[in-house]
Amino acid sequence: MTALSPDQSRFFGGESNQAREMAESFGTNAERYDRARPSYPDDLVQRILAASPGRDVLDVGCGTGILARQFQALGATVLGVDPDARMADLARQRGLEVEVAKFEDWDPAGRAFDVVIAGQAWHWVDQVVGATKAAQVLRPGGLLALLWNAFEPPADLAEAFAAPDGRALPGSPTPARPGPGAEAYPGLVAGLGAIPCARAVDGMEQAGAFDGPEQWQFGWDRHYTRDEYLDQLPTASVWSLLSPAAQQEVLRRVGAAVDAAGGSFIMHYVTVAVAAARTGAA
């Protein structure tokens, strides 16, 4: 991602240069991102479509199209918007129509959608501006659905999986330490925390164009081999903030820990969605 609002900078503790570096890191190896990043529960995708008035979907911060392809597989027509041309290029190769722009600046050109989604991306969007724009492009009753994957490694691997500065790897730029309301997701603050969800709800409410937001949770597990997990680590947004030496130390420590655990492990995920329907008559 290419630029941050003052609101986003405050979310990252005012370190706007670091936040920008994190945001721009995803496209440096789009192939790895597409290969290694986790997907989302199909049951959640089905629930989102069932709650929407149709199957025209706008994917904000679509990246390489990981979430979009799951909607396409269920018969949805998806348009992606992403500010990173490198990610967009790969998404197009995977069969997704993508327009390159920041969502706040993107021109919908009169188009309307039944669903606006964002997978592991809405924290890069100005919360109020983004929610307001989503409402403008949604048909009456259309759904804004924002998804994040929270993760919890096995207890015997948790310490080894932390970055040298204490931040969680891999995942969103939110801190490993729980924020207010994190008790709703016990143990799963490592990749998420309550901060993005709370900010998303606040943005929807300030936009004044949505029914009361709901939060949906879907738990699931993924088996990782040592090499699969080490492949995913550099896709974390905080990775770009680590020195090369620190990056190698994380890979060494994590690889050794997984080897000691038998060469593979089960990661427990909870995908949390914040969803709200657009108000207004047709």
In order, the DSSP letters of 24-54 are TSGGGGHHHHHHHS----HHHHHHHHHTSSS
Q: Which long-range CB contacts under 8 A does 101-108 form with residues at least 24 apart?
A: 102/1, 102/2, 102/3, 103/60, 103/61, 103/130, 103/133, 104/5, 104/129, 104/130, 104/133, 106/81, 106/133, 108/136, 108/137
Whole-prediction pTM: 0.85
Beta bridge partners of 113: 138
6-277 under CATH 3.40.50.150, yes or no: yes
What tokens appear for 23 in the block? 């945001």
Q: What confidence score (pLDDT) does residue 150 get?
A: 86
Q: How much is the pLDDT for 248?
A: 92
C-alpha dihedral sign at 39, 44, 47, 51: negative
The DSSP code for 194 is S
SS3 of 137, please?
A: helix
Low-confidence ranges of the chain (pLDDT < 70): 1-27, 163-195, 281-282
CB 65 within 8 A of CB 57: no
Q: Which amino acid is at 200?
A: A
C-alpha 112/C-alpha 105 separation (Å) is 16
DSSP codes, 78-89: EEEEES-HHHHH
Q: Give residue 190's pLDDT.
A: 36
**pLDDT of 176:** 36
User: In the chain, what percentage of residues exceed pLDDT 70?
Assistant: 78
CA-wise closest residue to 265 among 218, 217, 223, 216 = 223
Tell which phi-psi region holds residue 208, choosing left (phi > 0), alpha (psi between -120 and 50) or beta: left
CA 90/CA 218 separation, integer angstroms: 28
Per the CB < 8 A criterion, the answer to whether 158 and 221 are in contact is no
- Number of C-beta neighbours around residue 107 at 10 A: 8
Give tens-digit pLDDT for 36-63: 999 999 999 999 999 999 999 999 999 9
Q: Report the candidate in 166, 128, 124, 167 with the shortest Cα–Cα distance to residue 20.
A: 124
Q: Give residue 68's pLDDT.
A: 98
User: What's the pLDDT at 282?
Assistant: 42
pLDDT reported for residue 253: 92
